[in-house]
Structure 1
Amino acid sequence: MACKAKLMIPEDEKYEGKPFALSHTRTAITTIKAKFNTQQLQRFEGSCFGHLLLIEDLKWNSQIVHGLLMRKADPKTVAQVNGIKFIVGNKLIQFTAQQFCLITGLRFGKLPFIPKATNENCSLKRKYFSSNKPATLSDLHTAFIECTDDEDALKLGMVYFANFVLLGTEKHVLIDMHYLKLAEDLEEFDKYP
């Protein structure tokens, strides 16, 4: 039986691409474990990312996710259900927020407003990143490795893990300064969906 739902982007308007992984999981986890003292490591293990330290090597592939999103079912042609629907192999599949959380162990929900980190409102930005230029993943790596303040190192480590493991981008890419601001309050960072 053929699927009657329509794709958001017609098949003939999609482009071909070669997928590759940009997550630096093994390196990031090794760096975090080498950098943190016992107390910092215990705090990190108790955080929203702690369970992910057990991952040997995450094969995150943003191009595959992009390809899947290109097959998103048009909500006008499919009954609304909590979650997102895709047409894959002429079949309609659904992925709910609850399933995402069960699989990843991460939280979901409404995203709170987070101001962009500036030298005036964010001590991490002021202490570890030049005010004249945006910070890259390489800059974040250097700041994390060179940080001597235990509390700041833990905060930078959370942003480091999010960027190098979960977001998986190249080292010359700019970091999202909102996460740096969020990390100033680790309790809020841990609750962030």
Structure 2
Amino acid sequence: GRLVQGKIDRHDHFEALACIDDALNRVPEEFVIEDRRRFMASCFRHSMSMHRELKFSGGVIHQLLLRELDHDRPTDEMLFLLGNYVVRFSKVEFSLTTGLRFGVVPNTSMYVAVENGIHQRYFPIHDEISLDDLRVVLTRGQFQQAYDAVKLCLIYVLYWILMRVDERLKIPVWQFWLVEDLNAFNSFSWGAHVYRHSIFSFKHALPR
């Protein structure tokens, strides 16, 4: 295939792991053991197993993307030429790496606000919530009910570690409604949701 040219910016969000740890440690004493257990049993539990001294190298990712090959395979896959080897990045590799569930992503308009849910209790004057708003609540650590810290940490992992979004973007409110039911949140096809975002970002990091 033909090599394409481009570049990628540097993003390093591993410090979020410490933020999550700190938030779970600030849970009221009567909730702390159960909250941490519930988070470590969640769909994003693999994130807490990441080595805390990992260093992200934008240069390595840049060099990898410079070795992307044109191909006639499915459009949601990427091929790279590494030495004499052609390697693939697809849903398979993404699932093996992240442990996230793949399946049909439902219509998110089906989720509705929960009375006195975390959205109302922690962000009462915010119609739109930013990552910075969420980070302030996690850092303050004044959690009111069991699993509140778990729910807020799950959204933080999703947006700041897995999806690596621009901090200026707002968090979709349906995710605050979905996370009220932890079983439903953990069963959601986050692999498909995050992969779709990731493959789009990788493909558009390079000028065509």
Task: State the SS of the aligned residue for 1:52.
Answer: helix
Residues 87, 161 of structure 1: alpha-carbon distance in 2 compared, 3 angstrom cutoff: closer
Match of residue 106, structure 2, among 108, 112, 115? 112
Instruction: Give distance in 1, aligned partners of 2:182 and 2:63.
Output: 34
TM-score, length-scaled by structure 1: 0.70
**Matched residues in 2 for 1:71 and 1:35: separation?**
45
Query: Which structure 1 residue ranges, 5 or more long, are not aligned?
Result: none
What is the deviation of 1:173? 4.5
- Give CA deviations for 1:27-68 in whole Å, capped at 9, x if unaligned: 223223313400111111111122332223255678976876
Residue number in structure 1 paired with 2:186: 190
Within the candidate set 172, 177, 187, 1:176 is matched to 172
The size of the alignment, in residue pairs, is 179
Q: Which has the higher contact order (CA 8 A, sep 6+)?
A: 2
State the TM-score, normalized to the length of structure 2. Answer: 0.66
Task: Assess if the C-alpha contact under 8 Å between 2:118 and 2:180 holds in 1.
Answer: yes
The answer to whether the aligner puts 1:31 opposite 2:31 as a matched pair is no
Per the TM alignment, residue 73 of structure 1 is displaced from its structure 2 partner at its CA by 4.5
Supply the AA of the counterpart residue of 2:118.
L
Task: Give the fraction of aligned pairs with identical amino acids, expressed as a percent.
Answer: 23
Q: Provide closer, same or farther for how the CA distance between residues 56 and 106 of structure 1 changes in structure 2, counting only shifts above 3 A.
A: same
RMSD, aligned CA:
3.5
Structure 2 unmatched ranges of 5 or more? 190-208
Alignment check: 8 A CA contact 1:73 1:87 kept? yes
In structure 1, how many angstroms separate the alpha carbons of the residues matched to 2:78 and 2:15? 29
Q: Give the 3 Å change call, closer, same or farther, for CA 71–107 of structure 1 in structure 2.
A: farther
Q: Equivalent residue of 2:21, what SS?
A: helix
